[in-house]
Amino acid sequence: MPALICGSLAFDTITNFHGRFAQQILPEQVHILNVSFLVPTLRREYGGCAGNIAYTHKALGAEPIVMATLGSDGEDYRKRLESQGLDLSCVRRIDHNYTAQAIIITDESNNQITAFHPGAMGEAHLTAVPSQRSDIRLGIIAPDGRDAMMVHAQQMHAAGIPFIFDPGQGLPMFNGEELKAFVPQFAAFGTQGDDGANCGFKVSAPMCPVMQRRPSSTPRDAVMRSALPCSMVWSTVGRWNDASNWATALARSRSRTVVDRTIRWIGWPWV
């Protein structure tokens, strides 16, 4: 069962600062902030939500269709995805822009400073959901360009494709009224992990799951009960890993089994 994976494809430049940001930033002078960090280690990874989710979904034996954008510098990323056997029929190249880029600096206390350039991702709304394909039975809208997330939600709804709406760190791009429109009208799943908001809110729309608190010594513990044509219970402890957890949820959505797993943060499954 093919699943449409809408989201970002990005290059992640990851660096480490051998110190603590707190030692370099004076609280009383943040209004004139001008700092520089020496980062002895640097690596570049293939990242982005669509890439990570599709990679894991494929590894689980499913059929992901990547729907995203790459810039003029994205040919290496496309070849990488092709080598994984991924369907790239919905990946658009934007020649006048760069592929989305994230530059991350992490200090010794695991604090992070991230700069993100959306680049080609800002034009992801130009690619329409392939509604003519009758074999697409499920989708996910992961963090992407703001316009793309709104347009693709409307298009999936119009095509009758149930989907997961996971704004992740893109949540601040939407106001309250827009989010209300997303959850009850469109999303087959409506969720938000601990990184962006309090996990455990209730969604009452048709075909939406209910995220509900249950008594536990772990306050982040939550259960997601899906109202899709399957019986699935999903439990999480700790931070929500969108790539591995959402891909597994997509792969299992066609079954009628009950899933109750405890998952801890293990980092991104870099492709």
For position 40, which CATH number holds?
Answer: 3.40.1190.20
5-9, 24-28, 185-189: range with lowest mean pLDDT:
185-189
Q: Look up tokens 């592929």; give the residue.
A: 99
Domain-embedded: residue 271: no
Domain-embedded: residue 263: no
132-141, 181-190, 249-258: range with lowest mean pLDDT:
249-258
pLDDT at 187: 55
In the chain, the amino acid numbered 25 is I
Q: How far apart are CA 18 and CA 150, in angstroms?
A: 40
pLDDT at 201: 33
Is a pLDDT exceeding 70 seen at residue 110? yes
Is a pLDDT exceeding 60 seen at residue 232? no
The total of structural domains in the chain comes to 1
Is a pLDDT exceeding 70 seen at residue 54? yes
Q: How far apart are CA 166 and CA 114, in angstroms?
A: 20
Domain-embedded: residue 270: no
Residue 170: pLDDT band with limits 50, 70, 90 = confident
Residues 6+ apart with CB under 8 A from 85: 58
Is a pLDDT exceeding 70 seen at residue 243? no
Domain-embedded: residue 268: no
Q: What backbone phi and psi angles, to 5 degrees, belong to 84? A: -90, 0
The overall average pLDDT reported for the chain is 76
Give 54's DSSP letter: H
Q: Which residue has the higher pLDDT, 213 or 125?
A: 125
Q: How far apart are CA 67 and CA 32, in angstroms?
A: 41
Whether the CB-CB separation of 128 and 144 falls below 8 Å is answered with no
- Give residue 97's domain range: 2-252
Residue 164: pLDDT band with limits 50, 70, 90 = confident
Q: How far apart are CA 244 and CA 263, in angstroms?
A: 10
Residue 247: pLDDT band with limits 50, 70, 90 = low
Q: How far apart are CA 225 and CA 148, in angstroms?
A: 27
